[in-house]
Amino acid sequence: MSTAIQYGYDYVFDLASRLSPKEQRRLLRELPNGFSPPSQEPQESVSVEPIISREEIEEFKRIGERRQRRRSPEELEECRRRLLEVLLNCPVMTDEELQGYEDARKEFNECRLAYL
């Protein structure tokens, strides 16, 4: 797991231990059966560094503020017209095509289950 998500078990456990007791119980209920929680022995605190730097957060805020600028009614109407044009030109599946995809999915799942 630690290789797949690039976080160690100690880091994940430290995050889980910061949850409220109610949230910890909910987490334990949602874990796979057979999982037993580790003993509640005191552990040394793990320092957690932020994933995103303060500079990156500020840059995200600046980008968001630029995108929130007011558009003129003409710009809004042009955007609405282009969006409507795109939506009207999207391909639409017929009932027969949709049924074909459903049948293929069912057949694939049956073959996959037979292989397992």
Note the Cα 81 to chain centre separation in Å.
31
Longest Cα separation, the chain: 65
Convert the pLDDT of each residue in 43-101 to its tens digit.
Answer: 555 566 678 888 988 998 888 887 777 778 898 899 899 999 988 888 888 899 999 99
* 13 contacts 38 by C-beta, under 8 angstroms: yes
pTM to 2 decimal places? 0.27
